[in-house]
Amino acid sequence: MDIVQRISQLKEEKNAVILAHNYQREEIQRIADFVGDSLELCIKAKETDADIIVFCGVDFMAETAKILNSDKKVLIPEIKDIECPMAHQLPAEVVRKAKEEHPDAMVVVYVNTLAETKALADATCTSANADRVVNSLDCDKVLFGPDRNLAYFVSKRTDKEIIPIPEDGHCYVHKKFTVEDVKRVRREYPNAELLVHPECDPEVQDLADYVLSTGGMIRHVLNSDKKEFIIGTECELITRIKLELEKTGEEKVLIPLRKDAICDPMKRITLEKVERCLREEKYEITLDEKIIKKARIAIERMLSVK
């Protein structure tokens, strides 16, 4: 029996489901029951009737699955160096302090945050729904963090005052994209559409044809009549889109905006680790019950926004 067959057998024996983010390695995407963006993964995690959720992604994503399923066993195949650095840029104390300074503001935090931070928010959001979540709130002022670039994206789509917390929250992968990169690819591929993630710097967003979540990019490429696309996000999204195109047999040209846009924590998960995770049932995500209760309210509020 090979490793893929062993994973499949263990999954069946234990009534487990494997959820994976769009940035996971190809072999993980291929064995996952569902691959998606942060919002789609939240929805799947909430809906599943499996007893065990194996989450192939970074720390905050597995925590979110646990918050939505506190009675289920949520496992992550690796525990070391699996943190999304951005999620650690907005500690709960910073939110508490900002709330004291702006008592009339509501708090929206990106799902790329730790559970303690989510517990202090009125609502969470993802890159797929940040503007809709902010616009759904009954207030004029919103404390928004940690991603300063997502805050910029939202501020262009709302009349509310957006106050970024902290000042300089960012994703080290999307920070790599520059105006020079955009000029170079536009020169080399004049017919291609440029799709970038809202975690990119404002000047890069402003030069793009579309600013989309990873799930939004996939849908855009699959539904477009165009043939060439430059992908301004983590490189593995190209693998993800290619796997979708394989199903239809359609040919499209996908060019990375930069070849070194790699999220290292996302790449820590391997087939061997998934197999061990299912066999030994580790590493289990555990969170304080009070934090779970409060954070769930903020996530549920996001999920209720259509």
Q: What are phi and psi of 203, to 5 degrees?
A: -65, -30
Whichever of 160 and 240 has its CB closer to ligand SF4, that residue is 240
Place of tokens 């996530």: 299
Q: Which residues pair with 106 in a beta bridge?
A: 142
Cα–Cα distance, 139 to 102 (Å, whole number): 12
Q: Does 85 bind ligand SF4 (CB under 6 A)?
A: yes
| Length of the chain counted residue by residue | 306
The Cα–Cα gap between 128 and 98 comes to 25
Q: How far is the CB of 215 from ligand SF4 (least distance, A)?
A: 13
Q: Which residues, numbered 204-243, are part of the site for ligand 13P (CB under 6 A)?
A: 213-214
Nearest to 237 by CA among 23, 20, 58: 23
Shortest distance (Å) from residue 24 CB to ligand SF4? 11
What is the distance between the alpha carbons of residues 12 and 85, in angstroms, rounded to a whole number? 34
Decide: 161 and 193 in contact? Cβ < 8 Å: no
**Binding track over 88-127 against ligand 13P, x by CB under 6 A:** ------------------------x-------------xx
Answer yes or no whether residue 22 interacts with ligand 13P by CB under 6 A: yes
Q: Does 37 bind ligand 13P (CB under 6 A)?
A: yes
Q: Taking a C-beta distance cutoff of 8 angstroms, is the pair 150, 110 a contact?
A: yes
Q: Which of 116, 199, 236, 275 binds ligand 13P (CB under 6 A)?
A: 199
Sign of CA dihedral 226, 230, 231, 235: positive
Place of tokens 């990873």: 214
Q: Which stretch binds ligand SF4 (CB under 6 A): 130-138, 169-177, 206-214, 267-275?
A: 169-177
202 appears as a binding residue in the annotation? no
Q: Which stretch binds ligand SF4 (CB under 6 A): 25-33, 70-78, 241-249, 259-267?
A: 259-267
Q: What is the DSSP letter of 257?
A: S
178 marked among binding-site residues:
no
| 58: contact with ligand SF4 by CB under 6 A | yes
Please check if 111 is assigned to a binding site: yes
Binding residues for [4Fe-4S] cluster: 84, 171, 263
Binding site for ligand 13P (CB under 6 A): 22, 37-38, 112, 126-128, 171, 199, 213-214
Binding site for ligand SF4 (CB under 6 A): 58, 84-86, 112, 171-173, 199, 234, 263, 265-266
